Structure 1
């Protein structure tokens, strides 16, 4: 039943524009003003807003044969992003799964074949529109509707084989009340495609987890911070912006010896880290790993990890958008490498009495220093006396 058109085998697909890419692969031919050129044009489709998870909806697809000749067969396709599902399909329709490929999340495609005459200048629509399910993790999703006249828009041999539906077959019916597209207005000779944004009434909770570090001056310690999507929705950004991003500020007194591959330096001691893709699943978790070298002890040193990037209207809980990175330096505050006590400051060493030196942590060094000074003075006096006796002789 289903024919495969070699021209429709795609090298890649982009979520939300699958049908459009398939048609581009066929090549574009300028429309002829007199309407003699072949072509089909979809009618305008409105977005679906506020769809409740667990509900279903229909996309009222219709099209016009804008050429001068009747068509003997057409294929109407629907490509769904991962937050949407299919109900029972008619027997002249088939479905297939498109797996995740790099930046493109998994999708589902349904194709209906209509083996009937399609007259020019007439608007057609399926006698019964397909119904799509809004899954529990739906949020920002799309239905890409495509109409094709050259063959079954099968994406290639690496994807699942089409599975025919089991419901009663459906046919195309004329829509006399609809306004047909103008003759010759088709942008491509054998097909057209349009995206229908579907926004569900759902939320996703992005959360960050900080860390508490411990080490001595001179140590290199691992730092791991996390970002999690607690759901219930997955997040796919139609503008192709990175789905999740955080700003990490390192604790004072540290330097980054090694950074995570998903992070870039944004300033002194500051890094931006991201999911890398325009989508994350409803169970997304990612850990960013660094190695920090402790250069000096800074009392109360604390960094942070905080969500950043494009706005997140889907995330209504902001209490978990920021977390601290605490650093506890062992060996006492003010210690430097090797456990050597710092040299007393000039103001401290010049203070009267022993109070200033005692504050530096010198401990028993004061009486020892006094004894040494007395010994030096005694030796100098003895040497001076000996020189005077020699001069008298």
Structure 2
């Protein structure tokens, strides 16, 4: 939402005035602030969850404690799960929202539950019925976030409109065995028993020497699980080695040269199931190399969730058509040879143009009409100029001779 314009100088004056008033108030009534009590809500009770099978469910036994000196008038418990998980029945005192991915954060589902009851200091509470989470078919390495506070956490502007739950409302009850937490926000890893098959696809190239052509290779997560890596860690590395006899004219933005190959990463740290990353190169064929072949290979980082290694490498083949390298001349290129004989020589270049060199000059066949015209017209013009110049010289010489005789 755009902010309305304001007078910065007037704002500073207001801030200065309020600051002075605040200092006066603190000076006149320090005892009142010292006697004020405050609540401090913390969350706990959840340990890392491991060995979950896709399609199964598990409960979230969260606890809420008040470590402050005063009672909290209201409690909000906020849950968020990444895209491999989802919530089962949601109580009517909670609202759900789907949030799209943004700012390096993957898509997620959230639930915010409001408890209109006081939380007393030193007491540990838990919802009378824990929220239940389901592992989807794409679950693998997911995350559950828990947050607690007295204020409404609000809705995410990048999400869908919130929806109120339909299950019976729940309330907080005192927990006899729940562990008291120490923080307001906690992230809990949830690991499922699943696989994610990483694959690469090569390319079949065809062109002539001197030609620049596109090369597209791909990396795919064939699933069934999605993969999310931690911030700062590469999700996957792909090594692309072009065929011999070629040079890279343009490389993708996520690739950098590493020797004669290119080390490529991914645009997102989250690799969705059936998602793919395409790498578009531009190659120039510099020369013909027999049986030239490049490759696309997955990096050597550990991938315990990818047991199939047969599709971790693919070939890049190159079929060079036509003659030799661009600009090659089959003969010596000398006019008439070393002795200047009129026989001349003939050669065919890489573009199919035939050049014949003889004693009278050079002509081209098989090239463009523009090139043929441009080479013929200057010669004709020069010959005509020579004829006119010669005639002029003869006229001048005759006039001078007539004058000397007179």
Q: Provide the TM-score with structure 2 as the length reference.
A: 0.69
Residue number among 308, 312, 331 corresponding to 1:321 in the alignment? 312
**Contact residue 96 and residue 110 of structure 2 kept, 8 A:** yes
**C-alpha offsets along residues 274-302 of structure 1, whole Å, 9 cap, x if unaligned?**
22211111120222111111111111211
**C-alpha offsets along residues 6-32 of structure 1, whole Å, 9 cap, x if unaligned?**
xxxxxxxxxxxxxxxxxxxxxxxxxxx
The answer for unaligned runs of 5 or more in structure 2 is 1-35, 333-406
| Closer/same/farther in 2, CA of residues 44 and 329 from structure 1, 3 Å limit | same
Are residues 1:293 and 2:284 paired?
yes
Q: Aligned residue pairs: how many?
A: 298
**C-alpha offsets along residues 86-136 of structure 1, whole Å, 9 cap, x if unaligned?**
111111111111112253221110011110121110111001100011011
**2-side partners of 1:198 and 1:102: how far apart?**
22
Matched ranges for 1:1-393 at <5 A: 37-149=38-150, 151-178=151-178, 180=180, 192-267=184-259, 269-308=260-299, 310-331=301-322, 335-338=324-327, 340-341=329-330
**2-side partners of 1:157 and 1:101: how far apart?**
11
Report the alpha carbon displacement of residue 53 of structure 1 after superposing the two structures with TM.
Answer: 0.6
The answer for unaligned runs of 5 or more in structure 1 is 1-34, 344-393
Q: The residue matched to 2:256 in structure 1 has which SS?
A: strand
The one of the two structures with greater contact order (alpha-carbon pairs below 8 A, sep at least 6) is 1
**Contact residue 121 and residue 180 of structure 1 kept, 8 A:** no
Q: The residue matched to 1:208 in structure 2 has which SS?
A: strand
2:28 corresponding residue in structure 1: none
Which is worse superposed, 48-57 or 234-243?
A: 234-243
Q: The residue matched to 2:62 in structure 1 has which SS?
A: coil
**2-side partners of 1:292 and 1:102: how far apart?**
34
**2-side partners of 1:79 and 1:215: how far apart?**
53
Across the aligned residues of Structure 1 and Structure 2, the Cα RMSD in angstroms comes to 2.2
